[in-house]
A and B are shown apart, each in its own frame.
Chain A
């Protein structure tokens, strides 16, 4: 009966729909491109709906969908064919975005941190955003990205170290630059 009800009413559908903002935030933090992020989310939701029968534990819906999105993201990166060896790209491929600029107010801090995160190698970026934005445990992140927990820890550590250095440099640059203000 449960199976029939589940088939007829599709209880997963609202759950999948409700996760759209979460997926989009993570997708955007991975690619920093609103259009691409939205496409990734759409593809993830479509695949999740098609494969909904594979989900055994309803409580794991978010992690399961993020795992699907990770595969969509990897497929997208592979389709760009910008690297030959897929084994170590996660540790070396960096975004082409500019270095974080000097930041002082709220909007500048946001732009500055996003620029710094975008500079991180993709593997580090994924771990950092999953842990910081969605507060997943290391074990859950390992499951989502299909990597060992030790790799999660080392990537996270390197990500935060790099982030700290980039933001320190940006802050120093800001302090060294004379500030020009327009006075009316």
Chain B
């Protein structure tokens, strides 16, 4: 009398779970049992069909031409932040080296233009600061700082002019420092216009994000004609640092 072979046993057979003796016994039985042979054939056929169905799965990243998933976006943001952090850290580390170098060697850029404790912090991503590319950053509306940043800019420009050198200089204003470049708010709008007339290589750059924030607070923001707008002050500073500019925070 033939014993019934369960589906689980047949599956184990076609999946190679049987040892040699068990396999041979089942094969011998299949010769005499057509129905059993058909069941095994059906299972093998199913297995082949499943393999065929997933031999070439559809291309991944069907969203390539569209919008990346949120996870990917977050990862990219994280990488971007890390690069930004590394850039800033590098700048601050080099700052100390640069200050020492500037203090030790005679230079066209005084290390402490308004005295030893003038509050200036000079940073450059390059080991040798390029005296012909300088940015002055102001983020305070204190009248003293506004005057200082303009004085400092004029000093650099005049010094370069006297020495017959070309200099590129940017005054970058953000946060409350934006007041320096706001028409009707800045006490120095006339001086800024005059400086701009005298020095073609002088740029005044306002932070677009700060402008948007003030506007969001309901303030009417009009910049002086000499001012340009960058998307953000930070992006402008980072870009300039990467280009070898020297950063001075007033």
Contact = CB atoms under 8 A, between A and B. Distances in A.
A24 B60 contact: yes
B4 to A, nearest CB: 14
Interface in B57-115: 57-63, 69, 71
Interface string B41-70: 011001101111110011111110000010
A127 B67 CA distance: 34
Contacts of A154: 8
Nearest to A28: B57
Contacts of A131: 15
B130 interface: no
Interface stretch (A2-10, A90-98, A157-165): A157-165
A41 B57 CA distance: 14
B15 A138 contact: yes
A146 interface: no
B49 A35 contact: no
A34 B42 contact: no
Contact of B57 (A34, A35, A113): A34
A135 B48 CA distance: 12
B132 to A, nearest CB: 43
A37 B60 contact: yes
Interface string B218-237: 00000000000000000000
Nearest to B51: A132
B43 A160 contact: yes
A23 B63 CA distance: 19
A38 B8 CA distance: 33
B12 interface: yes
Given A35-B62, A39-B71, A164-B42, A29 B52 contact: no
B50 A132 contact: yes
Given A35-B63, A39-B71, A163 B46 contact: yes
Interface residues on B, range: 20 to 34
Contact of A35 (B6, B50, B53, B69): B69
Nearest to A111: B53
B8 A153 contact: yes
A79 B49 CA distance: 32
Interface string A128-149: 1101110101100000000000
Interface of A is mostly: helix
Contacts of A65: none
Contact of A110 (B11, B52, B62): B52
Nearest to B61: A38
A117 interface: yes
B151 interface: no
B60 A35 contact: yes
A160 B13 CA distance: 14
A173 B58 CA distance: 27
A155 B38 CA distance: 21
Nearest to B10: A157
Interface of B: 6-8, 11-12, 15-17, 42-43, 46-47, 49-54, 57-63, 69, 71
Interface of A: 24-25, 28-29, 34-35, 37-39, 41, 106, 109-110, 113-114, 117, 128-129, 131-133, 135, 137-138, 153-154, 156-157, 160-161, 163-164, 167
20 contacts: A34-B57, A35-B62, A38-B60, A39-B69, A39-B71, A110-B52, A113-B52, A114-B54, A132-B50, A132-B51, A133-B50, A153-B8, A156-B11, A156-B15, A157-B6, A157-B8, A160-B11, A160-B43, A163-B46, A164-B42
